[in-house]
Amino acid sequence: MVHGEVWTAKELFVYPNEYIYWTIQIVMYPFMTGLVAGAFVLSSLYHVFGVKQLKEIARFSLAFSFALLPVAMMPLLLHLQFPFRGIEVMMTPHFTSAIAAFGIVFTTYGMIVAAELWFVYRKFFVETALELRKLTVRSFVQQVRYILYSVLTLGAWDISEHSLEKDERAVKMLAGLGIPVACFLHGYAGFIFGSVKANALWMTPLMPVIFICSAVVSGIALCIITYIATMEIRKAIHAWRLKNNPALPSIEELKSAELQDVTMTSRYLVMFLILAITLELLDLIFRGYTAVKSWDILRSVIYDKDFFNIFVIQYGMGNLIPFILFLMPRLTIRRAVVGTLLVLLGVFMMRWNVVIGGQAFSSSLAGFMHYHLPIWPDSLETFKEGLFGALLVAATPFVLFWLLGRIIPIFSVKNTH
């Protein structure tokens, strides 16, 4: 059976060899890379631009960006028919194609994020290793932790004030360098779509810019919703500990700090959301004004076949409603949760409408194809290209983030400078 035949339904005149080849995993690919870039940009607002109010969530988003990074290539590996060939992009990078150049950009960005994270937590690594070294008798777990943190110090044991100031300058430099690299990491995904001359929906010079702006929006939104979820878990644990130790900070103090962080971060979310909406509407208006030869088939897809997906879910539920929720005075945690979830839905549907909607019309410009997402897998292919494959990709960064949180104190201020 031809790849794509299982989930493709054809309508009117469609060429026999045409199918929906790029499926849910290609939707998840720009979505996940956008989350990586957006989370890093949020952390850089503090490290580069000195927004003090974002100090707590900046450290959180930097660690979350690092946890998201290994998942960026996961959708491509699941989509490939021969996934073992995917490593060739990393091992033989060159600039003759956008996909091949991704190997260089991805490696560079990974090294920048890892180095910045190391400078931020170097003091914690040294202090923890020195405390464990003082123990005359160490358990197996303590011995493993001692070896781990000793290795993570990379031999840099100096934690004097002068040395920590150098670390701060290095963090600021790496964060400033990482912003254009992060934008290029995700912008090239839009470049791939925008440079496909054979597809009328994708061929636009605004595609990379639209992808970058929506990436920042989705990354900030995911950091907010994850930050709220982890803070709620922390408050539940803190309430249990408060019974035995009344000297600990009250629950109200934690709630106040959480609301302050979320409110400040949501302002930047609204700013980038306005920019993303403006660019998307500008592209739509430009297409209608120029009305090229393929506009008739595009118009039938945008205003008829995918009207509900584009104007109801993406623009209505994913852009307009959260925009109103965040602009209303006295932002609450519940309203922030609803707003960020709708923003993530809107960005995901934007990726869906670009990838799936771009394949919805035939090259004959006289037929349509419909994508039916495989829900229950009956083979390895329908698992990878179906709902369960997408859920696997979506859940993986949270597992990695939890494991990372077992190594570094994402919330503890005293262990970092």
Q: Out of 138-147, 257-266, 338-347, which region has the weakest mean confidence (pLDDT)? A: 257-266
> Quick one: pLDDT band at residue 415, thresholds 50, 70, 90?
very low
pTM higher than the cut 0.85: yes
> Quick one: pLDDT band at residue 51, thresholds 50, 70, 90?
confident
Res. 127: pLDDT tops 90: yes
Q: What percent of the chain has pLDDT over 70?
A: 93
Q: What is the mean pLDDT of the chain?
A: 86
Res. 9: pLDDT tops 60: yes
pLDDT of residue 413: 45
The string of pLDDT tens digits covering residues 261-270 is 888 899 999 9
pLDDT of residue 251: 64
pLDDT of residue 363: 76
Res. 291: pLDDT tops 80: no
In the chain, the number of structural domains is 1
* Segment 205-211 mean pLDDT: 85
Res. 147: pLDDT tops 80: yes
**Separation of alpha carbons 340 and 235, rounded Å:** 21
68, part of any domain: yes
Res. 73: pLDDT tops 60: yes
175, part of any domain: no
> Quick one: pLDDT band at residue 19, thresholds 50, 70, 90?
confident
Helix (H) or strand (E) holding 337: helix 333-355
Sign, CA dihedral 80-82-83-87, equals negative
88, part of any domain: yes
Res. 322: pLDDT tops 80: yes
* Segment 288-298 mean pLDDT: 75
Res. 47: pLDDT tops 60: yes
361, part of any domain: yes
User: Count of CB atoms within 10 A of residue 180's CB?
Assistant: 10
> Quick one: pLDDT band at residue 416, thresholds 50, 70, 90?
very low
Tokens 């709902």: give the residue. 387
List the beta bridge partners of residue 11: 368
Domain with 370, as residue range(s), is: 9-119+183-407
3, part of any domain: no
Q: Tell me, what CATH number does 91's domain have?
A: 1.20.1630.10
346, part of any domain: yes
The closest alpha carbon to 57, from 228, 312, 310, 275, belongs to 228
99, part of any domain: yes
The string of pLDDT tens digits covering residues 252-263 is 666 666 788 888
386, part of any domain: yes
Res. 247: pLDDT tops 70: no
Res. 320: pLDDT tops 90: yes
pLDDT of residue 417: 40
**Contact yes or no for 357/364 (Cβ under 8 A):** no
